[in-house]
Chain A
Amino acid sequence: MSLDSPRQLTTLRDPADIVFRTVARSGGVIVLSIMLLVGVFLAFRASQALSVAGFSFLTEQAWEPDSGRFGIAAVIVGTILIALVAIVIAVPLAIGTALYITEYAPRWFRSILIGLVDIMAAIPSVVYGLWGFFFLQGNITPISKWISQTFGWIPIFAVDGADPNDPLSSVTVYTSSTFIAGIVVAFMITPIITSIMREVFGQAPLGEREGALALGSTRWGMIKSVVLPFGRGGMIGGTMLGLGRALGETIAVYMIISPVFVIQPHILQNGASSVSSLIALRYGEATPFGLSALMAAGLALFLMTLVVNFAASTIVARSRSGASS
């Protein structure tokens, strides 16, 4: 499905057109300069801190810019862990929801479902944060506990300070963890991933679908051999777009985690960190140099989401299903 574009025409422009083109171009120039200003200014302010920290900016875990010891090792790892937990939970949910919308739901129900998923994407993150803090925090700890007791031998599920043999042990070691923040972020990014997957699943060609069914495949057989291969590009791209959102999420994560500035690989354990919550936590008390360090952290986060987003849009655009969108 190619959108056709107007043919190239050579014309003498009348004054109205010249004004329009000038205004439109100046709008473009203004937006471009704002956007470049953000990027350049971030890079410029960050360079001050980066020149002091040097390479240790990537390896140092502590965040004490005024004593010269600061780096993003801990917060970047924390951000990535939260985003990974979110993706691991959100992707199955999104695939299930998208398949339900395109393949299983009755026709009349589809448009309602699509609307609901879009509403879910529009709910402010602070509302998800409230839900995570006041409901999920209290109700998820038994599961955290069970996972850590059963799979504690896998390093990331281990929890320091928890005694598996003590049935009365406190559950506070399981609160404010990467896991809980990840679950909340997962529900925030699920609708974004779902809407892209739904779009590509819905475009799977009818002929191939019916061919598969005519050859005797079950509905799942048809999905596995037609819909999923057709939508693979959109699935990967949608997942990465969700990942981009998950990396940048601030307020819901900030409400749930209790920040630590060491690399915390135990996702079930109290204490986690992320770049955006570091900025929200420290911007107020920061000295000019501390602010420069925060800018550097923000720049690192921005570059990370930028790479992820560009990769996502490239994958979506190159795939068979996404070529036209």
Chain B
Amino acid sequence: MTTLTDRPAPSASFPPPTPTGVSAGSGSGTVPTQQETTFTPPPEAPITEVRRQTSGLRMIDLLSAGGAAVASVSLTALLFTQLAPVSGPIAFAVIAYLLFVGIYALLVSFDEPGPAVRDRIVLVAVHSLAWTVLATLVFVVTFTIVKGADALPHLNFFTQDMSLAGPLDPLTTGGVLHAILGTLIQITIALIITIPLGITTALYLGEVPGRFSRFVRTIVEAMTALPSIVSGLFIFATFILILGVEKSGFAASLAISVMMLPIMIRAADVVFRLVPGTLKEASIGLGAGQWKTVWHVVLPTSRSGLTTAIILATARGIGETSPVLLTSGFTASLNVDPFHGPMVSLPLAVFQFVKSPEPTMIARGFGTAAVLMLLVLLLFIVARIIGGQTLAVTEKRRERLLRFTAAFRSVFAPLGAKITGAAAPALAGGKARVDSYFADRDKRLQSEARPANETAALLTATEPIGVLDDNDLATLPHPAPAASAGPADIRDDKPETPEDTK
């Protein structure tokens, strides 16, 4: 019975059947009344505290920051032009920055006490560190794309391989079709191996607990530490040297699989563990077996998280160079047969191109890197969209689509009737369908409002999610280790909550 007092019992608690004269919240525990109905007080509303923003900007802050910026840049310019012990843009930025911090602290100290001055210095430091990271990210991306811009506009870059293009040939001949196809083939084979194996193993770890599965989990966690080059070396030494298989795209796929498998298992395991126990218990309570529970509850609930895990592991697998370098080898010509002959991948092609001193080859290298990066970014955005899909979002989208079709029809239905009388019944039927959908939906939402509230209360009772803000809902479970998937993911997959129904 302890569980019943820990969590409010749904049937009795919401809404309180308030008897005359007794207010529901007045007593703790059960309140006997004249009618002798027994009920528990309503559950406390799920507390979702919103953190207050404690910033406030004043004119003096802006003035001192701006003044310090101007002073530091001028001082640094003076230093560089008159004294000049160093040179270079990076050195200029570093010195200007240090001077800025110093001058700013001095300005603030004129009218603020010590702790406030320290607060300001930290404020500047945190902002500049974060912006350094972001600027570097943007810079790395744009640097690659700008340098690759010479090669990218040529259509042949995407339709030819390098078999006919020598190092001195202009960018109008030769391309990286072989690398693009090679990457796609290799990652497809790797995914064919890792997805079934990875998800089955993750299900095993989550659903069949025991000493052996704990052991498997420990080993898998240990293997996430395996450096990618070592997995390449392993496949090289076993498949190629001992079994005598030639260097091929298939061997590269195996090496990538060995590297991706622990990452995927770990991410999927985290996602499965986030499926609320109450949902599984409900399924088992209704008489479903373990397999039915997994198929109808665990997998659908974690679908978006699982897709994200797979896509992010794919992004890691696509970007790895060293396993392919060891197991597949480099070729300049197109090879779509994964079992025979070397098959190049995008990162390996980049690596080979930039080894050459020729400017056109280096431009090709950057172009290839840009293609690779865009591929990874595309995967990432897809992951983001899928991971961000909640019931609320899909429902809203469906509603918008239906409203649009309804509006469309109401505009064009008279027109259509004028043109052909035969189409009119079909159009009218369509409108009736739309109308009945909305009527149904409203009815459903009304009737579901209460159960949905109860579900929310239950979930918050077991998983307090107060400290997370809405931005965290967008957080994806990261393939990289540990602490990544927050409880927010539970909220993502929860059946309709009150917010969803509005």
Name A's B-contacting residues (CB within 8 A): 1, 3-7, 9, 11, 13-14, 16-17, 19-21, 23-28, 30-32, 34-36, 38, 41-42, 45, 92-97, 99-101, 103-107, 110-111, 113-131, 133-135, 139-140, 142-143, 146, 187, 190-192, 194-196, 199-200, 202-203, 205-206, 209-210, 213, 217-221, 223, 234, 237-238, 241, 244-245, 247-251, 255, 276, 279-280, 283, 288, 291, 294-295, 298-299, 301-302, 305-306, 308-310, 312-313, 316, 322, 324-325
8 Å CB interface, B99-143 against A: 115-116, 118-119, 122-123, 125-130, 132-134, 136-137, 139-141, 143
Specify which of A24, A100, A247, A291 lies most central, judged by the most chain B CB atoms within 10 Å of its CB. A24
The verdict on B45 contacting chain A, using a C-beta distance below 8 Å, is no
Name B's A-contacting residues (CB within 8 A): 49, 51-55, 85-91, 94, 115-116, 118-119, 122-123, 125-130, 132-134, 136-137, 139-141, 143-144, 147, 196-198, 200-201, 203-205, 207-208, 212-213, 215-216, 219-231, 233-234, 236-238, 241, 258, 261-262, 265, 273-274, 276-278, 280-281, 284, 289-292, 294, 312, 315-316, 318-322, 325-326, 347, 350-351, 354, 362, 365-366, 369, 372-373, 376-377, 379-380, 384, 462-469, 471-472, 474-476, 478, 480-487
Contacts of B372 in A (CB 8 A): 124, 126-127
9 sample A-B contacts, Cβ–Cβ < 8 Å, listed by A number: A11-B289, A35-B220, A96-B125, A114-B474, A116-B134, A125-B321, A131-B144, A248-B225, A301-B227
User: Is there an interface contact between B140 and A123, defined as CB atoms closer than 8 Å?
Assistant: yes
- 9 smallest CB-CB distances across A and B, nearest first, come from A96-B129, A124-B319, A248-B227, A27-B200, A100-B130, A218-B119, A325-B483, A142-B88, A24-B204
Tell me the nearest residue of chain A to B277, going by C-beta. A4
User: Is there an interface contact between A104 and B126, defined as CB atoms closer than 8 Å?
Assistant: yes
Query: How many Å lie between the Cα of A11 and that of B200 in the bound state?
Result: 22
User: Is there an interface contact between B87 and A142, defined as CB atoms closer than 8 Å?
Assistant: yes
Tell me the nearest residue of chain B to A103, going by C-beta. B126
Query: How many Å lie between the Cα of A283 and that of B123 in the bound state?
Result: 49
Query: How many Å lie between the Cα of A221 and that of B118 in the bound state?
Result: 9
Q: How far is the CB of B312 from chain A (nearest CB, A)?
A: 7
Tell me the nearest residue of chain A to B311, going by C-beta. A122
User: Is there an interface contact between A38 and B91, defined as CB atoms closer than 8 Å?
Assistant: no
Q: How far is the CB of A163 from chain B (nearest CB, A)?
A: 16
Known contacts being A41-B234, A126-B347, A130-B365, is A115 close to B384, with CB within 8 Å?
yes
User: Is there an interface contact between B212 and A28, defined as CB atoms closer than 8 Å?
Assistant: yes
Q: How far is the CB of B284 from chain A (nearest CB, A)?
A: 7
User: Is there an interface contact between A122 and B319, defined as CB atoms closer than 8 Å?
Assistant: yes
User: Is there an interface contact between B290 and A31, defined as CB atoms closer than 8 Å?
Assistant: no
Q: Pick the residue among A124, A143, A199 that contacts B321 (CB under 8 A).
A: A124
Query: How many Å lie between the Cα of A209 and that of B143 in the bound state?
Result: 41
User: Is there an interface contact between A27 and B319, defined as CB atoms closer than 8 Å?
Assistant: no
Known contacts being A142-B86, A276-B322, A279-B233, is A27 close to B290, with CB within 8 Å?
no
Known contacts being A20-B290, A131-B144, A195-B484, is A291 close to B241, with CB within 8 Å?
yes
Contacts of B144 in A (CB 8 A): 127, 130-131
Contacts of A213 in B (CB 8 A): 54
Contacts of B197 in A (CB 8 A): 27, 30-31
User: Is there an interface contact between A127 and B468, defined as CB atoms closer than 8 Å?
Assistant: no
User: Is there an interface contact between A31 and B216, defined as CB atoms closer than 8 Å?
Assistant: yes
Query: How many Å lie between the Cα of A200 and that of B484 in the bound state?
Result: 10
User: Is there an interface contact between B88 and A93, defined as CB atoms closer than 8 Å?
Assistant: no
User: Is there an interface contact between A93 and B132, defined as CB atoms closer than 8 Å?
Assistant: yes
Contacts of A41 in B (CB 8 A): 234, 237-238
User: Is there an interface contact between A28 and B234, defined as CB atoms closer than 8 Å?
Assistant: no
Specify which of A95, A96, A116 lies most central, judged by the most chain B CB atoms within 10 Å of its CB. A96
User: Is there an interface contact between A120 and B90, defined as CB atoms closer than 8 Å?
Assistant: no
User: Is there an interface contact between A92 and B237, defined as CB atoms closer than 8 Å?
Assistant: no
Q: How far is the CB of B176 from chain A (nearest CB, A)?
A: 14
A interface SS class: helix
B interface SS class: helix
Known contacts being A100-B129, A250-B321, is A31 close to B261, with CB within 8 Å?
yes
Known contacts being A130-B144, A134-B147, A213-B54, is A248 close to B365, with CB within 8 Å?
no
User: Is there an interface contact between A146 and B86, defined as CB atoms closer than 8 Å?
Assistant: yes
Q: Pick the residue among A31, A100, A114 that contacts B471 (CB under 8 A).
A: A114
User: Is there an interface contact between A202 and B369, defined as CB atoms closer than 8 Å?
Assistant: no
User: Is there an interface contact between B233 and A93, defined as CB atoms closer than 8 Å?
Assistant: no
Contacts of A276 in B (CB 8 A): 227, 229-230, 322
Query: How many Å lie between the Cα of A310 and that of B223 in the bound state?
Result: 11
User: Is there an interface contact between A280 and B322, defined as CB atoms closer than 8 Å?
Assistant: yes
User: Is there an interface contact between A3 and B482, defined as CB atoms closer than 8 Å?
Assistant: no
Contacts of B315 in A (CB 8 A): 122
Query: How many Å lie between the Cα of A288 and that of B242 in the bound state?
Result: 10
Contacts of B265 in A (CB 8 A): 31
Known contacts being A27-B200, A35-B220, A41-B237, is A192 close to B480, with CB within 8 Å?
yes
Tell me the nearest residue of chain B to A141, going by C-beta. B88
Q: Pick the residue among B208, B281, B292, B462 that contacts A25 (CB under 8 A).
A: B208
User: Is there an interface contact between A17 and B289, defined as CB atoms closer than 8 Å?
Assistant: yes
User: Is there an interface contact between A21 and B208, defined as CB atoms closer than 8 Å?
Assistant: yes
Q: How far is the CB of B244 from chain A (nearest CB, A)?
A: 14
Query: How many Å lie between the Cα of A133 and that of B52 in the bound state?
Result: 45
User: Is there an interface contact between B53 and A107, defined as CB atoms closer than 8 Å?
Assistant: yes
* 5 new A-B contacts at CB < 8 Å, known A111-B474, A124-B320, A218-B116: A134-B147, A195-B480, A217-B115, A294-B233, A302-B226
Contacts of B230 in A (CB 8 A): 38, 42, 248, 276, 279, 298-299, 301-302
Contacts of B136 in A (CB 8 A): 187
Query: How many Å lie between the Cα of A126 and that of B228 in the bound state?
Result: 13
Query: How many Å lie between the Cα of A126 and that of B140 in the bound state?
Result: 11
Q: Pick the residue among A35, A210, A279, A308 that contacts B223 (CB under 8 A).
A: A35
Contacts of A45 in B (CB 8 A): 237
